[in-house]
Chain A
């Protein structure tokens, strides 16, 4: 049985606010079949590279391709895990150190599915989403981030 899920907008301009994340959790209180949520939050880290401190990351993306990649990840995650719902949000533009740039939220009846699916989605986003982070240093210079 396969269910088509609508393409959703994943990109959010700037940082993802704690209030947005809180609201997102609150919206699930009506879905009483859920027994477990798993949430991953990616936060911009103030890495020190060659003595220079990262102040922010500026994200750019190939949005047309990214929308297709996110859609495929969504479909394949629902096919692989019995989830009640899943949400993915990724920042675009400048996000300061200490702010949230990635929010992945999975919900299921029992915890194992939500936990495993959340990790699976984050790994796929890191590997497959055409998104680039430019690390902006406090001194005004920059470098291009590379996912490991």
Chain B
């Protein structure tokens, strides 16, 4: 199972990537653990998560083809 992770703003800068493909990540908690392992500074950042453009507030199961966005606080306008 393959998911696409999109990163924006400060997070894209920190990870050096705007998009990553990951395999066999069953839910968003595990995704956060994985990302924090890869980029320890992520532990200090506040961010929200959207699964297929819908904001989530608790751990969410992931399925093949999902797109998950890691989004720092918005600063448009």
Contacts and interface: CB of A to CB of B under 8 A. Distances in A.
A and B associate: yes
A98 B8 CA distance: 25
A90 B74 CA distance: 14
Interface residues of A, number: 26
Interface string A37-51: 000001000000000
Contacts, number: 65
A131 B69 contact: no
Interface residues of B, number: 15
Nearest to A128: B74
Contacts of A127: 74
Interface of B: 6, 8-10, 13, 50, 53, 69, 71-77
Interface of A: 42, 59-62, 64-65, 68, 90, 101-102, 122, 125-134, 144-147
